[in-house]
Structure 1
Amino acid sequence: MASDNMWEDVDIKFDITASQMQPCPGEKIIDILESVEDTKGNNGERGRLLVTNLRIIWHSHVIPRVNLSIGLNCIINLSTKFANSKLRGNIEALYVLAKSQTRFEFIFTNLVSGSSRLFTSVIAIHRAYDTSRMYRQLKLRGALVDNKELKLLPLEELCSKGNLGVFYITNIRVVWNATMNESFNVSIPYLQMKNLKIRDSKFGIALVIESSSQSGSYVLGFRIDPKEKLEEVSKEITSLLRVFRADPQFGVQYELESKISKVQPSVMQNVFDDVEIDEEGQSDAFAAYFADGNKERDREPVFSDHLGLAIEKLPEGVTVQSLWSVLP
């Protein structure tokens, strides 16, 4: 799966289709909560919340086409506050602030009395996602090498190593660093590889890797001598890339403290039963989750004398001092 085609962890979607709710290759459902209310957008509606290694999915039990998909990469902040639920009254809920092109706020209330699993699962799984970005992001000049050896990630296995510069090929990524300066390096996860080919360059025949637009559309060339070795390396990476795309490893590791029955990828099957998606009215649902009323886009930046830096222009009647005063 090329990163340009993958939206699950980098987008926020409303009222998605049955096929979009199915886990993509490499996506694993980690936890399921069967009784959760979407308190902000569907207050009073009982639903199911699923947490995967890429996103949070909520759907109504009564009308499954009413649903949300929130990519873990979109989440800016997770917190717990009290909210007014039609089903539970004034109760502690999970607040999710997220941004794709627009900021949205989601509020989820666990309808199971006395259970804190909603908070612990979502917060811990998002933390596991956030701390495993090396599996998914192209990295230039990072702390990749220690004592002339690649620092392997959990679940990563070194498949081969070259010595023209130093070229590491693993089951997760390709890493190169300069022999004279180890900090001059690049880590290219297979997840971000768009094209791999051998072609002519001003330095001679080279292995050229083109990265996805999501990672910056880099074109990186590596000269490997002799030509036979270049072709061997190209075949090895192509083979590993094919295996990876069949079952991607995103690096998110989390085990529930209280074991639940093993979740199968088909868990979302039969949620939709001959339902046609009604696109009308979607804008109302979309607007319900805006983090700032009906604001459709970020306000222009202005200089704040109080803070001494540029900030987004505040709404009418709001001051920086008043914002500080509401912090706990």
Structure 2
Amino acid sequence: MRNGEKIIDRLEFIEDTKGNSGDKGVLIITNLRAIWHSMTIARISLSIGYNCIQNISTRIVNSRLRGTTEAVYIQSKYNGLRYEFVFTNLIPGNTRHFTSFIGIYKAYNTSRLYRELKLRGAILQNGRLKLLMLEKMYTTVNGVWNLSSEQGNLGAFLMTNIRLVWYAESNETFNISLPYIHIYSVKIRESKFGEVLVIETTSYSGGFTLGFRIDPRERLREVTKELSSIYRIHCQAPEFGVHFINTEQIENNEPSPTLLPSPEKYDEFEDENVIGVSNSLAKYSISRSDKGDGTPKYDSSLGLAIETLPDGFTLSTLWEVIPTTNRSIE
């Protein structure tokens, strides 16, 4: 897991009904994603980031192991393609996969200020920052010029343990909220305005280059040093703002979720290249784009009209985790 990622719940005997029907697995729910892997072969797995999910609901499905039952139905979008995932709890009467998954996803959606760059947001009231849960105010720096325009705008820095905020003194709605996890670098550079503080953001947040002028020069260096220090500390243990307590788990006196240590020197990408795992994500695809499904085409082996397969795929490879041509003979 990445820094700041925490396991919130872990459920066994969960079936991936859409892509691996009939296979018992483990569903691990963290504050950033949901991970499912087979209890038989851990290599058969998938990871769903909450930012890709568009909708979560429940649906009646036909499970190979459980029969007709209610399951968690997930619709997601990634790289212009739409996918669906279905998770079925094989333990009768256990609905914790509903409460955990849906509850954590809602907590993720309502805490985006922890993780996303925000421009011109309603984050201040009468010049005071509306603090997030677990957010602490560190430093206020007045007299900071934002150099986004030719003449510059005079404002102030607000440094917390989670983000850097700048707002204009003349109009507090002209502001920027920048979580430290989106900072790529903090430097002092020469410009036509003299020495300025330059903050580069990651490509995920748009790859912006933000310039600020702070006088005098000694104060500029002090602010830069403090910001760099807070940024490094936060990156070691970032706060993503996703918190959820499963009351059902507490009432049943169930232990906190734990994970077995990963095998040493295991590289999932290297492993895929050696074994030649096929693109099993295609099993979850329901559309190639927002324009709708592909043109139906008659398949003689099935005797049915099916959606046209993407380039490089055949009907037989969609049912394989390891391509037949790459299987080793034991």
User: Do both share a fold (TM > 0.5)?
Assistant: yes
TM-score using structure 1 length: 0.80
Pairs within 5 Å for 1:313-324: 313=292
Question: Which runs of 5 or more residues in structure 2 are unaligned?
Answer: 144-154, 297-330
- Does the Cα contact within 8 Å between 1:64 and 1:272 map onto a contact in 2? no
Identity across the alignment (%): 48
Structure 1 residue 290 corresponds to structure 2 residue 317: no
Task: Tell me if the contact between 1:64 and 1:271 (Cα under 8 Å) persists in the aligned partners.
Answer: no
Matched with 2:188 is 198
Larger radius of gyration: 2
Deviation per residue, 1:64-86 (Å, 9 max, x gap): 10000000100011010111101
* 2:90 maps to which of 87, 90, 111: 111
SS at match of 1:59: strand
Q: In 1, Cα distance between the equivalents of 2:56 and 2:184?
A: 33
1:261 aligns with 2:255: yes
Q: For 1:79 and 1:271, how far apart are their aligned partners in 2?
A: 35
**Equivalent position of 1:12 in the other structure:** none
Q: Secondary structure at the match of 1:163?
A: strand
Letter of the 2:289 partner, please give it.
D
| SS of residue matched to 2:105 | helix
Deviations 1:189-211 (A, max 9, x none): 10100010011222221111000
Name the residue aligned to 2:314.
none
| Structure 2 residue 198 is matched with structure 1 residue 220 | no
**Matched ranges for 1:36-75 at <5 A:** 36-75=14-53
User: What is the aligned partner in structure 2 of residue 182 from structure 1?
Assistant: 172
1:36 counterpart SS class: strand
**Do 1:193 and 1:209's aligned partners in 2 also have CA atoms closer than 8 Å?**
yes
Corresponding position of 1:308: none
Tell me the CA shift for residue 253 of structure 1: 1.0
1:123 aligns with 2:102: yes
Q: Secondary structure at the match of 1:242?
A: helix
Tell me by how many angstroms 1:120 deviates: 0.9
Q: CA RMSD in A?
A: 2.0
Between structures 1 and 2, the one with greater strand share? 2
Taking a change above 3 Å as real, the CA distance of residues 272 and 122 of structure 1, as seen in their structure-2 partners, is farther
Q: Distance in 2 between matches of 1:92 and 1:79?
A: 10
The unaligned stretches of length 5 or more in structure 1 are 1-22, 300-311, 318-328
TM-score after normalising by structure 2 = 0.79
Q: Out of 50, 65, 72, which is 1:94 matched to?
A: 72
* 1:84–1:91 CA contact under 8 A, matched in 2: yes
Asked whether the equivalents of residues 99 and 246 of structure 2 are also in contact (C-alpha less than 8 Å), the reply is no
Q: Quote the Cα distance in structure 2 between the aligned partners of 1:272 and 1:109.
A: 31
- 1:54 CA displacement: 0.5
Bigger RCO of structures 1 and 2 (CA < 8 A, at least 6 apart): 1
Q: Give the 5 Å matches for 1:69-84.
A: 69-84=47-62
Is 2:209 aligned against 1:211?
no
